[in-house]
């Protein structure tokens, strides 16, 4: 599938693995220059190598998205590397909960909110001035189906992903007349390290995960990448403030 892009440079956070890596590869396959950002330097450099060995153009910049100075430095690094920013996929996220709401602790809360909410907020805060200066662009944030409804035993995570949708919709309205589109992608269970950590220890859990989706399987990283590229592409020029479920039908039940 080929998509039409009017810009040339894409930034992906959380691009050392999983959904972020696959999306960085998909942008590069469309001929875009890609900045691969993550706090995992080894994984980030591996993503860059995968892109280069497929003939694409990419640069790794190490960044902890919870730190204002590092996120600001990331945007400076994007400009230094490629001179502009057209598309940003704010995707870095964590899930570390093990139990019900009353079993959680303050450190878990701060860690999850720090990456999933503050990280997305900081990224948009430092991306929007670049996009405004250039006359437009598109941002996609990774929420989750856990941003659209309940997620038992993942209550902090669910709250964080609802917050991502709140940030997305508010920013979309604020900048709607400035040619900046802001959308969220809401994956259901996708086969990544995050999924394997959560489900593969127990085969029954993996079966349950597949059965949660009317299509009868969990999703693939490429299926999320395709949705992100669509939301950035010119084909989505009238789509902003949208939270797109990519979920094998699971939120339609």
Ligand X SMILES: NC(=O)c1ccc[n+]([C@@H]2O[C@H](COP(=O)([O-])OP(=O)(O)OC[C@H]3O[C@@H](n4cnc5c(N)ncnc54)[C@H](O)[C@@H]3O)[C@@H](O)[C@H]2O)c1
Of the candidates 132, 130, 140, the residue with the CA atom closest to the CA atom of residue 174: 132
Pinpoint the alpha helices (H) of 83-211: 106-113, 119-134, 155-174, 193-199, 203-211
* Residue among 148 and 172 whose Cβ is closer to ligand X: 148
Minimum Å gap between C-beta 4 and ligand X is 26
Q: Which of 39, 82, 87, 157 is catalytic?
A: 157
**Distance of closest approach, residue 123 Cβ to ligand X, in angstroms:** 10
Q: How far is the CB of 194 from ligand X (least distance, A)?
A: 4
Q: Which helix (H) or strand (E) holds 90?
A: strand 87-90
Closest CB to ligand X among 7 and 119? 119
Closer residue to ligand X in complex, CB, 56/147: 147
Please report how close the Cβ of residue 201 comes to ligand X at its closest, in angstroms. Answer: 15
Nearer to ligand X, 55 or 85 (CB): 85
175 is catalytic: no
164 burial (CB, 10 Å; 0-12 / 13-18 / 19+) is: buried
Question: Are the beta carbons of 221 and 26 closer than 8 angstroms?
Answer: no
> What do you get for the CA distance between the two ends of the chain, in Å?
29
**Residues 236, 4: Cα–Cα separation, whole Å:** 10
Q: Which residues bind ligand X (CB under 6 A)?
A: 13-14, 16-20, 38-40, 43, 63-66, 91-95, 115, 119, 142, 144, 187, 189-190, 192-195
Question: What is the set of active-site residues?
Answer: 157
């Amino acid at each position: 599938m080929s998509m039409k892009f009017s810009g040339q440079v894409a930034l992906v956070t959380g691009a050392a693995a999983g959904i972020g890596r696959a999306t960085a590869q998909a942008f590069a396959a469309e001929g875009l220059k890609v900045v691969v950002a993550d706090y995992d330097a080894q994984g980030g450099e591996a993503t860059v190598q995968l892109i280069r060995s497929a003939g694409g153009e990419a640069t790794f910049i190490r960044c902890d998205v919870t730190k204002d100075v590092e996120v600001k430095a990331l945007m400076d690094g994007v400009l230094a590397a490629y001179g502009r920013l057209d598309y940003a996929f704010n995707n870095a996220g964590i899930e570390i909960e093990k139990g019900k709401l009353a079993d959680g602790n303050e450190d878990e809360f701060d860690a999850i909110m720090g990456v999933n909410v503050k990280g997305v907020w900081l990224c948009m805060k430092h991306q929007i001035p670049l996009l405004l200066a250039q006359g437009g662009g598109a941002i996609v944030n990774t929420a989750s189906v856990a941003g659209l409804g309940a997620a038992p035993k993942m209550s902090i995570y669910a709250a964080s992903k609802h917050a991502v949708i709140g940030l997305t919709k508010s920013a979309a309205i604020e900048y709607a007349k400035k040619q900046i589109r802001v959308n969220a992608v809401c994956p259901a269970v996708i086969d990544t390290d995050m999924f394997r950590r959560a489900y593969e220890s127990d085969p029954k859990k993996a079966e349950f995960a597949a059965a949660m989706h009317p299509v009868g399987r969990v999703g693939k990283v490429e299926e999320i990448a395709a949705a992100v590229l669509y939301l950035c592409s010119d084909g989505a020029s009238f789509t902003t403030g949208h939270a797109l479920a990519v979920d094998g039908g699971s939120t339609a039940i």
